[in-house]
Structure 1
Amino acid sequence: MRLSKTLTAVAVASVLLGGCTATAQQANNTTAAAVMQQQNLPEVEIKYESFTLDNGLRVVVHEDRKAPIVAVNVWYAVGSKDERPGITGFAHLFEHLMFNGTENYDDEYFGPFERAGATDMNGTTNSDRTNYFQNVPTPALDMALWMESDRMGHLLGAVTQEKLDEQRGVVQNEKRQGEAQPYGRVFGYLAEQTFPEGHPYSWSVIGSMEDLNAASLEDVHQWFNDYYGAANAVVVLAGDIDVETAKEKMNKYFGHIAPGKPLKKLESWVAKREGTKRATMEDNVPAARLYKLWNTAEMGTADSTYLSLLVDILASGKNSRLYQRLVYDEQIASMVSGFQYERTLAGQFFIIADAKPGVDMDRIEAIIDEELAKIIAEGPTAEEVARTKFSSVAGFVRGVERIGGFGGKSDVLAAGEVYHGDPGYYETSMEQLKNATPATIQAAAQRWLTDGAFVLNVVPQPKYAAGEAQADRSKLPEVGDLPQLDLPELTTFTLSNGLEVALAERHDVPTVQMRLVIDSGYAADFGGKVGTASYTMSMLREGTTSRDSLELSKELETLGTNLFASASLDNSTVSMDSLVTNLEPSLEIMADVLMNPAFSDEEIERKRGLWIENIKKEKAQPTSQAYRVLPKLIFGDNHAYSIPFTGSGTEESINSLTRADLVAHADNWLRPDISRLVIVGDTTEAEIKPLLEKYLGQWQAPAAPAPSKQFTEVQPQQEARVYLIDQPGTPQSTIIAGHLAPADGADNEIAVDLMNTILGGSFTSRLNMNLREDKGWSYGARSSWFAADEAGMILASAPVQTDKTKESIQEILKEFNGYLGDNPATADELAKVVANKTAKLPGAYETKSALLGSIVDTLEKGKGMEWLETYGQRVNSVELQTVQDTADEVLRPDALTWVIIGDLSQIEDDVRSLNLGEVTILDSDGNAL
């Protein structure tokens, strides 16, 4: 994979940066009030047709011709709830096995799809269902249906003992990886404790190690025969397709598959509890965390909808009552959240809070109980209900912009059919939501939340404070000629204050997204206090001179608008996503946030404690800890990139920040002459330009010359080095190795990207196929090209089981050295990667956010839309020799800097025995011990 400059996987936690949005006050309070009063909730209709094959397979078709792609979404009505004690984890194990080859295509399932340019491709398992989904270019639809039908009807002959053992190992490493994370053991324990023995939700989806080890080949085959028949499945086709075409293709590929055995299934088992039960768990966590939950009404009931609204009012986001009490006012918690866990047999209502150091968990729980008792006695306010409704519906509207993926149209239709027997069930859910009142929500709370709580305190360990087939199964269908990339034209203009604006019109759903990109980022902290840029940008959402922080959050939630301000390595951004109907008041808020930040001392201090707590959490999570330490090791002490790549700074630097530091950063860097505004959405230049002039035209550059970031020259490391960080008791070692590489926009950037993708940048890359699929030592191994403005890094990463740490390092080195030696990139590998990168282009820009991000990146490189549209041609022109030469130029396995985080009592001697280079043990801050 190629990483952008943001390293979002280890970015500062959103909960730390204050709610998801910012808002507006008196000038627009009338607008917000009107929205609430009128309940002007946006409507979305997902038109569909459905039919059932003779074998019982249900098919749902949604036609959407905006892009030449089709979402193929296959849901099986089988999940972990269909297991029983002693055979847990089977549904999830089969999710893995079904990616591992079939009787007629006995190879990695991802291969043909990568060549065809599939996007949004994955498979997931939960308590109630297993699904497999992918978006494919229209000419690849036959291939996709052949593959999906082959694993539905022709799988078991390819499920051998060898494959079972391999995927069992992968699943067990996935389990280890999850449990190695802070709080990673919690949900399995809660399942056991909150449901009675034998209840289908009393075990985790991933199952137990003992059951996975005991699974025989016969057991596994029987499981498939029991649950994966055609009559227990739903296929949704959404996008560039019509129902007649769907009928012909579905009968051809799926019509011969047996219905499967008749099944009897539970429909409800809530298991409502009585009394309060308590437990305490010690874990390798950075902060004490409280979980309080109740067993509640199942999915599809009105009460479940009401409880979902209630938990948002009570514990979701900055406007919630518990956030305001625990985090904002009393400042005794660093995080509070909540959710209604909706499942088909039963629901669960969760409230979660992280205590600040030294805070008694009983004090936090008492406040939770107090706020809950108040809402049970008095009900929520009409304003809270109206605001939360609008926010929920706006989120749904944004999700169904896409045809596939989580929350996309095909996902919504499949869920309706599998869970409720109605593809259009979302309309019932929307009706329940719209009909919710303070009284109905209060009544639901009284029914479900007055008794039966389970309370878990997770505390740090002591060291821490039918018929013949119609389709030819002898070969895969050919993928036809792929459609050409056709992007909207880019309109550019300049506001009176000199701000450059670029607009791409996209009129599919009534939303507008925009991103203001400022040439700063946390590389601008060089010579100052690290973390200043990120802290300053996050403070933009903590109040303006006319709106305090809570008013901001409340107003934008009422408008259904998302507003974010953040910093990445090389730039800072203010992003907004608004419904068209509320675009003007949203722009007014965005302008106020940008031009009039309050930087109140009270908010600065409130955030400081949360920020420090988040840094502690970063240091407790192995991957983010590595990304805090690695940059300084690679770039040295005197470079703008020698900082934690999370952007959060250090505890020392954040503790030293003053209001004057933040104001100075904003005054110096937030200016229109080093910024660009990019817009994608349902608007035109004639509509948007007057609004931009009205609200952003007053944003003026100061008289002082524009600043620029300062970069020093960095010398590549000449020899390998090893840095070890101890994490006692962890079931996995996290291995990350890297060295300097070309910067973003390098002349050979496409060749570097192709070279890296073959090595470790895709599921079927060499590293992943070795450590995950062949050895079963890791849930996933990758390499990435981290490309920043001034320099880049090649990084290899693999979380591996502890007892295979040494061997995994050896395999990583074998892949690097072989790539440069007797096993260079092959023509087949290059062809596969090129096919993937070009074939997926027509569907790559389906969403406004995807198109917006690509336009921003293109303009940052000084290029235009033609350059973006001709990307496929440039990829196709790269020759194999160029990729091999690029590997020789870029890869330096003899000069890798290794950061290995694990239980040193088990791995240190083995790592030292490899003689990779000088070994240094670091503390969690990256200081040598």
Structure 2
Amino acid sequence: MEMRRVWAPVGLSVLLTLGALAGCERSQEPSEKHDNVHKALRADKEAAASSKAAASGKDESFVQPPEIELPYHKEKLKNGLTVIVHEDPKAPVVAINIWYKVGSKDETRGKTGFAHLFEHLMFNGSENFPGEYFEPFQRSGATDMNGTTNNDRTNYFETVPVGALDMALWMESDRMGHFKGAISQEKLDEQRGVVKNEKRQGENRPYGRAFDVLATNTFPSDHPYSWTTIGSMEDLDQASLEDVKQWFSDYYQPANAILVIAGDITVKDAMKKAREYFGDIPSTSVPPELKNWELPSQVNKRLEMTDQVPQTRIYYVWNVPAIGSEEENALDLMTSLLANRKNSLLYRRLVRDEQVATSVSAFYYGRQLAGQIMVMVDVKPGQSVEKVEELLDKELREFARSGVSVDELRRIKQSEFASLVKGLEKIGGFGGKTDILARSEFYYGDPAALIKGIEDYAKVSASDVQDVAQEWLKPEHFTLIISPKDKYAVSGEDVDRSKLPAVDKTVELELPEQQTFTLDNGLKVVLAERHDTPVVFMNLQYRSGASADKDKPGLAGVVASMLSEGAGNYDSLEFSARLEELGASIGAGSGLDYNSLSFSALKTQLEPSLELFRDVISSPLFQEDDLARVKSNWLDSIAQEKAQPQGLAMRELPPLLFGKDHPYGAPLTGSGTPEAIESITREDLVTFHKTWLRPDNAQLTVVGDVTREEIEKLLNDTLGEWRTPRDDLPTLDIPTVERPQKARVFLLDRPGAQQSYIMAGLVMPPWKPDGAEAFDAMASAIAGKFTSRLNMNLREDKHWSYGARAVSMDTESQRPYIVFAPVQTDQTAPAMREMLKEFREYLGKRPIKETELKDYQDDEVLKQSARFQTKVQLLSSIAWQVEKGLSPDYIAEYPQRVSALTTEQVEAAAKEYLAPDQFTWVVVGDLSKIQKGIEELGIGPVEVLPSTE
């Protein structure tokens, strides 16, 4: 789902975390308090008018937008297919993005969920390629490959090496023109099961059904947005083979689609291939597209419900104009002024000043037929919901009355423009160039609309924002309160459809030279110049992380969080405002073995941005009031983790694998324990910072539009006063642990859970260069990717899970290897049996096959084409290489090492590393339904862990 401009992604992260709920509900009429607010708002209009008049002179909120070029060629084929081409030769890859003009809005009640179900079906092969759709892509180096469905449209996209372009276009055109005959009852039943498990997985999360409730209650029952994209279980069960075949016939036609091709290809060649592969696919009568719907009136209603959530969440929803309206930009900017940033109004008042909430978010959810403004507030445990709502209403009323700060509006615009410049480095995937071009064409009928639109975005005035606030942020809105429960078929003439086109496996990479130098203070720097966009990225990593937490698990993470809470002469809010003003970003992260600081800045603002970076490194404030707030919110986030099956398992597994006193025995989430977080003092932060963040314990990696001469001088000028202390650098010793002699099973009860969350862990030896490729190939084939044996078994064959995977964490010492699978409750024990079977057979009678290894090798080698597409990707690779103490040649020679792998090497790696009969299992679910079955498996001793509440 989407809700704001592709190049302004703040709202997207908000929606992806948007939950929803199940539970008891009751409807209320609007309270008297809301009527009073309405009266007060009307009384404020006269005062607001004078505020707007004062701002009616020269518009000081204008920000000069960046000069961006996104040239394209647009052409419509004879069959109606719209083709858009953009040339970008910086990396030997091409991105494809197809948008079909069909979404859940095109369904009817009783037949909901069809658009999303059909998206899943489209990955089940076609008439001329009946196998798994992912298979040829996952041996051809494809990246950013997926499909998505929302209310308005369905899209499919992938980025492939140049040599795989014919294969990709053949596959996309085959399922556009040759798919209907491939839809079988068996495939329908399979994907119906997958979608139902996806729905269960979403609803099993805290707030997991809220969006369903919001949709149902904020639109009339006949409105196309009154049901969610995933649909209802009942409708999914009733979908017939005839229904889905008719859906394909109606909507999956060239005249109802937009094809975008971008990357290392000329317009001439791209159009030739588009005509070759898609030109002879016929279009018949396409159902008329819904483009207009009278704006629904505001729903002045409250709904209160309970669910298994850790804290109360408040949702405010207003129905507002759709995408393409004159108010769209102002509505979007208004939400950024209200929430999502430290300097935003509601965050300042509710989280920082009054400390009655742990988080506040807001976004403009723009869609084709209607838009919505949503504000969400997580109420701090122990605080009164009524008090929070009263403050929220007061601030919204004051916002509409008094207007907005011109300086703050300018900062937001500058920040958004910086994000746009950085995002345009990517050609495919979410938010890439193909996405921007397709979205622009779909919603505005012009591939350049979003790029042209930045001029209008820059011109939005404070008065414009105040106007939309007064027009739409009224007391008449829908309120949802979620509170915790008490404990709780024609072939193209020139295309051979009998076989898939061969993939050209030639990969030619032109990586920038790595330049190394040392600053005057001893800090080692690695620079890779890349001058395609005027931006510079940096990563400063220093040895520490959770390994240095000692008796205070979570300390490294809190230090990282506090580094952005003010530094030098700027307090927390001033620091955030200065970053926005410069269009820069500075972030901090914490892992098991390292902490890191990330940095990005526009070339034109590099020096002042580096001055802020220096302040964060050398003089963070660590103010007591900020620490108290961060700790309080941190504790609330731990409660959130415990309410989620995955978070709970990630907290419980590490101490079972390593021991509770081991540096790696802390929760994998990095959040630590409540007791430790409560005990952290400002002195702890200062000591950690002085002990570990020092030039002789750090390495700086730089990638971007800057020369060595430029950056070396700038870094010495800005970071030169940061010096190594006289004290010796402490060492970090990570004890070695032994695996258990046999498997162990630990259960956590979650009564009423709609799914069980299965996690199994195994301690692996430390990473080493010798044999690393064989380990990765071994891990990928059994459980590392979509087409792995484990996922194919539990998702595609059994339909018990939405997805099963395994990951190996990259640590300095022994690595945790973790297998995870959310499964439907009644198949918990059988799923565990299947997981064991797959691993045991991999070690025994069914070792890796030549074809599996060959697919892995082809995929890994060809993926190198896209691995260094953006500066951030290049920066990440170099930083990892430096962290491991490897030479630049290690990255360059990776394809050769992978290509040389043999099945014997991979089999040997499996036998060296895998030991399924020594797994430590953690299963979160409804024990009244799953415990007996698990015990009957006889895997090992079963122990029920105490409740974490």
Deviates more, 1:509-518 or 1:428-437: 428-437
Does residue 423 (structure 1) correspond to residue 450 (structure 2)? The answer is: no
Shift of residue 427, structure 1, vs aligned partner: 3.1
* Distance 1:683-1:768 versus aligned 2 partners, 3 A rule: same
Cα distance between partner residues in 2 of 1:253 and 1:547: 58
Does residue 291 (structure 1) correspond to residue 320 (structure 2)? The answer is: no
Identify the residue that residue 210 of structure 1 maps to in structure 2: 234
Does residue 879 (structure 1) correspond to residue 902 (structure 2)? The answer is: yes
Q: Secondary structure of the residue that 1:497 maps to in structure 2?
A: coil
CA contact (8 A) 1:524 1:710 kept: no
Q: Secondary structure of the residue that 2:375 maps to in structure 1?
A: strand
CA contact (8 A) 2:216 2:226 kept: yes
Shift of residue 759, structure 1, vs aligned partner: 0.2
Shift of residue 170, structure 1, vs aligned partner: 0.1
Shift of residue 14, structure 1, vs aligned partner: 11
Q: 1:784 aligns with which of 794, 798, 807?
A: 807
Cα distance between partner residues in 2 of 1:616 and 1:352: 18
Identify the residue that residue 203 of structure 2 maps to in structure 1: 179
Shift of residue 619, structure 1, vs aligned partner: 1.2
TM normalised by structure 1 equals: 0.94
Deviates more, 1:544-553 or 1:47-56: 544-553
Identify the residue that residue 317 of structure 1 maps to in structure 2: 341
Structure-to-structure mapping, 1:676-695, within 5 angstroms: 676-695=699-718
Q: Secondary structure of the residue that 1:417 maps to in structure 2?
A: helix
Q: Secondary structure of the residue that 1:787 maps to in structure 2?
A: coil
Shift of residue 445, structure 1, vs aligned partner: 1.7
Identify the residue that residue 635 of structure 1 maps to in structure 2: 658
Cα distance between partner residues in 1 of 2:606 and 2:294: 43
Equivalent position amino acid for 1:756 in 2:
A
Cα distance between partner residues in 2 of 1:441 and 1:924: 48
Structure-to-structure mapping, 1:340-489, within 5 angstroms: 340-464=364-488, 468-489=492-513
Shift of residue 706, structure 1, vs aligned partner: 0.8
Equivalent position amino acid for 1:859 in 2:
V
Shift of residue 385, structure 1, vs aligned partner: 1.5
Identify the residue that residue 252 of structure 2 maps to in structure 1: 228
Q: 1:278 aligns with which of 292, 302, 309?
A: 302
Residue deviations 1:448-491 (CA, integer Å, cap 9, x gap)? 22253110001111115x77432100000011142223211001
Shift of residue 918, structure 1, vs aligned partner: 1.0
Percent of aligned positions that are identical:
49
Cα distance between partner residues in 2 of 1:830 and 1:248: 34
Equivalent position amino acid for 1:352 in 2:
M
Cα distance between partner residues in 1 of 2:800 and 2:404: 50
CA contact (8 A) 1:270 1:297 kept: no
Identify the residue that residue 608 of structure 2 maps to in structure 1: 585
Cα distance between partner residues in 1 of 2:351 and 2:769: 45
Runs of 4+, deviation exceeding 6 Å: 35-38
Cα distance between partner residues in 2 of 1:514 and 1:170: 41
Residue deviations 1:882-921 (CA, integer Å, cap 9, x gap)? 1011111111111100000011111111111111111111
CA contact (8 A) 1:295 1:452 kept: no
Deviates more, 1:770-779 or 1:385-394: 385-394
Q: Secondary structure of the residue that 2:807 maps to in structure 1?
A: strand
CA contact (8 A) 1:380 1:438 kept: yes
Residue deviations 1:4-23 (CA, integer Å, cap 9, x gap)? xxxxxxxxx999xxxxxxxx
Identify the residue that residue 572 of structure 2 maps to in structure 1: 549
* Distance 1:283-1:37 versus aligned 2 partners, 3 A rule: closer
CA contact (8 A) 1:52 1:59 kept: yes
Does residue 711 (structure 1) correspond to residue 749 (structure 2)? The answer is: no
Q: Secondary structure of the residue that 2:198 maps to in structure 1?
A: helix
Q: 1:57 aligns with which of 61, 81, 91?
A: 81
Does residue 613 (structure 1) correspond to residue 613 (structure 2)? The answer is: no
Structure-to-structure mapping, 1:484-523, within 5 angstroms: 484-523=508-547
Identify the residue that residue 781 of structure 2 maps to in structure 1: 758
Q: How many residues align?
A: 893
Higher relative contact order (CA 8 A, sep 6+): 1
Identify the residue that residue 821 of structure 2 maps to in structure 1: 798
Q: 2:103 aligns with which of 75, 79, 93?
A: 79
Does residue 838 (structure 1) correspond to residue 853 (structure 2)? The answer is: no
CA contact (8 A) 2:220 2:296 kept: no
In structure 2, runs of 5+ residues without a counterpart are: 1-12, 16-58
Shift of residue 36, structure 1, vs aligned partner: 7.7
Identify the residue that residue 877 of structure 2 maps to in structure 1: 854
Shift of residue 38, structure 1, vs aligned partner: 7.1
CA contact (8 A) 2:736 2:814 kept: no
CA contact (8 A) 2:568 2:616 kept: no
Equivalent position amino acid for 1:713 in 2:
T
Q: Secondary structure of the residue that 1:743 maps to in structure 2?
A: coil
Cα distance between partner residues in 2 of 1:270 and 1:394: 36
Does residue 167 (structure 1) correspond to residue 198 (structure 2)? The answer is: no
Equivalent position amino acid for 2:310 in 1:
P
CA contact (8 A) 1:273 1:294 kept: no
Equivalent position amino acid for 1:884 in 2:
E
Identify the residue that residue 71 of structure 2 maps to in structure 1: 47
In structure 1, runs of 5+ residues without a counterpart are: 1-12, 16-34
Shift of residue 395, structure 1, vs aligned partner: 1.6
Residue deviations 1:269-302 (CA, integer Å, cap 9, x gap)? 2533346210012111111000001010101222
Residue deviations 1:524-563 (CA, integer Å, cap 9, x gap)? 113x211111111211111124211000011101111111
CA contact (8 A) 1:274 1:451 kept: no
Equivalent position amino acid for 1:837 in 2:
E
Equivalent position amino acid for 2:804 in 1:
A
Identify the residue that residue 649 of structure 1 maps to in structure 2: 672
* Distance 1:409-1:224 versus aligned 2 partners, 3 A rule: same
Does residue 258 (structure 1) correspond to residue 267 (structure 2)? The answer is: no
Q: Secondary structure of the residue that 2:544 maps to in structure 1?
A: coil
Cα distance between partner residues in 1 of 2:60 and 2:841: 63
Cα distance between partner residues in 2 of 1:38 and 1:269: 33
Cα distance between partner residues in 1 of 2:100 and 2:70: 22
Q: 2:141 aligns with which of 117, 131, 156?
A: 117
CA contact (8 A) 1:227 1:260 kept: no
CA contact (8 A) 1:626 1:899 kept: yes
Cα distance between partner residues in 1 of 2:364 and 2:323: 10
Equivalent position amino acid for 1:312 in 2:
S
Q: Secondary structure of the residue that 1:115 maps to in structure 2?
A: coil
Cα distance between partner residues in 1 of 2:169 and 2:299: 51
Does residue 599 (structure 1) correspond to residue 607 (structure 2)? The answer is: no
Does residue 248 (structure 1) correspond to residue 272 (structure 2)? The answer is: yes
Does residue 819 (structure 1) correspond to residue 842 (structure 2)? The answer is: yes
Identify the residue that residue 92 of structure 2 maps to in structure 1: 68
CA contact (8 A) 2:342 2:348 kept: yes
Shift of residue 925, structure 1, vs aligned partner: 4.1
CA contact (8 A) 2:318 2:473 kept: yes
Q: 2:597 aligns with which of 569, 574, 593?
A: 574
Shift of residue 663, structure 1, vs aligned partner: 1.1
CA contact (8 A) 2:84 2:260 kept: yes
Shift of residue 786, structure 1, vs aligned partner: 1.9
TM normalised by structure 2 equals: 0.93
CA contact (8 A) 1:232 1:260 kept: no
Structure-to-structure mapping, 1:143-158, within 5 angstroms: 143-158=167-182
Shift of residue 263, structure 1, vs aligned partner: 2.2
Residue deviations 1:391-430 (CA, integer Å, cap 9, x gap)? 1222222211111111111100001111221111113431
Cα distance between partner residues in 1 of 2:555 and 2:227: 45
